[in-house]
Structure 1
Amino acid sequence: MDEDPWAGLERSPSDQAFRGHLISAARPWELFRALSPAGNRVLFMVHDARSSPSGRLPAIAGIALSIRERLHDGKRILALRLEEGEYADIFAKFCDDIAETVAGASTEALAVRAIIDQAARWQALLRGARREVLGPQAQLGLIGELRLLLDTLAPMTGLHAAVGSWRGPSGYPKDFELPATCIECKARTASGKGTVRITSEDQLTDEPGHSLLLHVSTFACADSTVSGAVNLHGAVARVRKAVDLTAAFARSRLDEGLDTVGYDGAHSYDFWWLHVGTAWHEVRDGFPRIVPGMYPEGPSGLSYDLSLSSIRAHAVSDDRAGQLIRAGGRIA
């Protein structure tokens, strides 16, 4: 480590009275570095009691995470204390990331939540719980689903209902299941073949009492400097921010889904894409597809490429798709 940001700090007189150095990069929020009485590195945030989380704090391996009330003014202190000195270099970088994230929070409550969320990232790193990084197509597919959830479904159904309709991570055959409409979501690159991959016979089978829509998003490979380009971290952060602001009760459901599909905030996702187009298709009689029971003697467990040119006749307008999503059922 080139420079220790805790170098030169005096040890705090007690764990109830941290003496810290304000991190200017995190302004306007009050984030500090400090040393505990025993010399442990500490990162803490002073905040109003109304911004504190109401639930129990997570147990974090290698970090003591705590909230206490400051007696002289009733404000709260959220503190992260590094318990193992051997991780000092990693902790310094980790705290820099927290400061950057906190600075971008629009409210004090979101800044506090950001610290706790980042602590979960530290836990994954320290426990060696890192998973295999999602490949480019898996990243793009997840970006497409999150974009559909936030930009299309949420304005029609409300964000809480949109998150609840995201059923693919739970093992359901369709990505989204609304009261009377199911949506299978596919994402493709503009430079790729004019096909989408159907990964099972169940993805395009009819569901009793439901309409079925196929949503295809097209993305162009882009550089991170291109306006509007997004990587997987950015797509996740955008949805989380919206949920925290307007549908906080859905946050655990969202995070559970992200975890199930293999998203890991500790991974690097270096592929960037720019959304360039969306097409809706209504899956009904005459739609080219393979469904369960079509081949009673086998084969089964099929996946196949579906040509976009073969389903062009089944394309529907945004208005038609919106009618099905809002009202449910098949609209004549």
Structure 2
Amino acid sequence: MAELSSTEILGIWRALPGNASTPGWRAIDLFHAGTYRIKAARHAPGNEEAVLIGFSSAKIAPTSQFPSGQGFRMERASLGEASGGLQWLAIVCQPSGNLELFAAVVIDICGLLHSTSHCPEDVVYQRLLGRVRGWQEFMRNGREGLNSETELGLVGELCLLQHLLDEGMLLFSAVDGWKGPLDGLHDFQLGAGAIEVKSTMATEGFPVRIASLDQLDESQRSPLFLAALRFVTSELGAALPELITDMRIRLEPDTAATRLFEQALIHVGYLDMHAKLYSRRFSLSELRIHLIDSEFPRLTPFNVPTAIRRAQYELDLSLLSITNHPLADALEQLGVA
């Protein structure tokens, strides 16, 4: 597929009749990839610009379950005799939406569909839903990308997720346990316990920031582990978008895991349209995994004066003489190995 431009998409929409007396879709094929097809379209009598995606075998949810938000909507489309035996989805510009921005949405979605032409349809469908949600979140909040601290935190959580899969965890179990993007108390809830992930790029000591009195309180989930990752910037490392692409490829065999992964990215605020903003390349130089127990120094609601209701603090792990557990041992204690 030759790369489309916003100007070309806008020109195609202008060429399609939108005020026809007969209700329905007027569409032009853009391209087909794998077993699905993509069309630029207008709908009469509303004169609404849209992109249509036709799937041959994906399990399409009811319209009520589609993402909804500002700028555009997603719905099923009936093409009648022109359906070609496919199930059609329509992504439609809202009357109040910015048409030039919607054209950028369509370009991005077409790029996604073309790049995933080798994937099973169910995977493509889940990726499409995730991309639509991401754009709607962008339009709702006007996000301009992750700050450097959140970027590093996401890199650390993705790195640990990769290590969990390397240890043999099932795809769905590992992604389902990833709660960091969902504002969970701990970044991974696995078995009866949890793993809290902390990332640093400090070159001296091993400082980690603890966000609350509850974060290292093992009475809430046990066993509780702290996974501390030290990164350095290196040309041999991987940028955040590359880590995400690698994880998407790894999760392809499990559409449910793919769906959860895409939802997590949206919750944390990562959008593919911002990929060029994340140019730092990270290499993992050290991974420590510590069991949080009575020997581990930390502040909890039970060991501070009752008048202290909340606190944030910093630990320097380099000053502690405590056991560094292999991840395999931690997973065995968590009951997921």
Instruction: State the TM-score, normalizing by the size of structure 1.
Output: 0.77
Partners of 1:176 and 1:86 in 2: CA distance: 38
**Structure 1 residue identity aligned to 2:126:** R
Q: How does 1:301-320 map to 2 (within 5 A)?
A: 301-320=310-329
Partner of 1:77: 88
State the partner residue of 1:58. 67
The answer to whether the 8 A contact 1:196-1:305 is kept is: yes
Q: More deviation in 89-98 or 288-297?
A: 288-297
Q: Secondary structure at the match of 2:90?
A: strand
After alignment, is 297-306 or 210-219 more displaced?
297-306
Offset, 1:31: 1.9
In the alignment, is the contact (CA less than 8 A) between 1:219 and 1:275 conserved in 2?
A: yes
Identity of aligned residues (%): 21
- Equivalent of 1:91, from 71, 92, 102? 102
Q: CA deviation at 1:302?
A: 2.7
Partner-residue secondary structure (3-state), 1:79: strand
Give the deviation of 1:207 after TM superposition.
2.6
Deviation at 1:290, TM superposition (A): 2.7
Structure 1 residue 90 displacement after superposition: 1.1
Partner of residue 140, structure 1: 152
| In structure 1, C-alpha distance between the alignment counterparts of 2:115 and 2:182, rounded to whole Å | 31
Which of the residues 17, 20, 26 maps onto 1:11? Answer: 17
Deviations 1:228-276 (CA, angstroms, capped at 9, x unpaired): 5122x55556556655641517835972x5555x425387362334232
Q: Paired residue for 2:136?
A: 123
Measured in 2, the distance between the counterparts of 1:267 and 1:303 equals 33
Q: CA RMSD in A?
A: 3.7
The answer to whether structure 1 residue 159 and structure 2 residue 171 are counterparts is yes
Q: Partner letter of residue 182 of structure 1? A: A
Mapping for residues 1-332 of structure 1, pairs under 5 Å: 3-7=7-11, 9-11=15-17, 16=24, 18-23=26-31, 29-37=36-44, 40-48=48-56, 50-56=57-63, 57-72=66-81, 73-84=84-95, 87-105=98-116, 106-126=119-139, 128-131=140-143, 133-152=145-164, 156-168=168-180, 173-189=185-201, 191=203, 194-207=206-219, 210-221=222-233, 226=235, 228-231=237-240, 235=243, 239=247, 245-246=253-254, 248=256, 251=259, 255=263, 262-265=268-271, 268=274, 270-271=277-278, 272-277=280-285, 278-296=287-305, 299-326=308-335
Closer, same or farther: CA 207–168 of 1 in aligned 2, 3 Å: farther
Q: Could you tell which deviates more after superposition, 281-290 or 15-24?
A: 15-24
1:163–1:254: 8 Å Cα contact kept in structure 2?
Answer: no
Amino acid at match of 1:96: I
C-alpha deviations, 1:274-311, integer Å up to 9, x for none?
Answer: 23232222233432323333233654523222112123
Aligned equivalents of 2:327 and 2:193: distance in 1? 15
Where does structure 1 lack aligned partners over 5 or more consecutive residues?
A: none
Question: What secondary structure does 1:162 align onto?
Answer: helix
Contact 1:219 1:276 in 2 (8 A): yes
Q: Partner of 2:50: helix, strand, or coil? A: strand
Q: Does the aligned pair in 2 maintain the 1:186–1:215 contact within 8 Å?
A: yes
Residues 112 and 306 of structure 1: is their aligned pair in 2 closer, same or farther, counting only changes over 3 Å?
same
8 A contact 2:127–2:262 mirrored in 1? no
Distance across 2 between alignment mates of 1:85 and 1:300: 46
- Note if contact 2:127-2:259 (Cα within 8 Å) is conserved in structure 1: no
Mapped to 1, the partners of 2:226 and 2:301 lie a distance apart of 18
Q: Tell me the distance in 1 between the aligned counterparts of 2:306 and 2:323.
A: 30
Letter in 2 for 1:112: Y
The 8 Å contact of residues 29 and 111 in structure 1, kept in 2 or not, is answered as no
Give the match's secondary structure for 1:81: strand
Counterpart-to-counterpart distance in 2, 1:63 and 1:209? 42
**8 Å CA contact retained: 2:238, 2:281:** yes
Q: Deviations over 1:149-198 (max 9, x none)?
A: 34316854423333343345566543323234321111111546531112
Contact 1:66-1:79 within 8 A present in 2 as well: yes
* Contact 1:6/1:35 (8 A) holds in 2: no
Deviations 1:20-78 (A, max 9, x none): 04247x67852222344565432122220x21423333334343433235544321222
Change (3 A) 1:46 1:18: farther
Per-residue CA distance 1:181-233 (angstroms, 9 max, x = gap): 321111111546531112223222323782222111222235xxx565122x5
- Please, which moves more after superposition, 115-124 or 153-162? 153-162
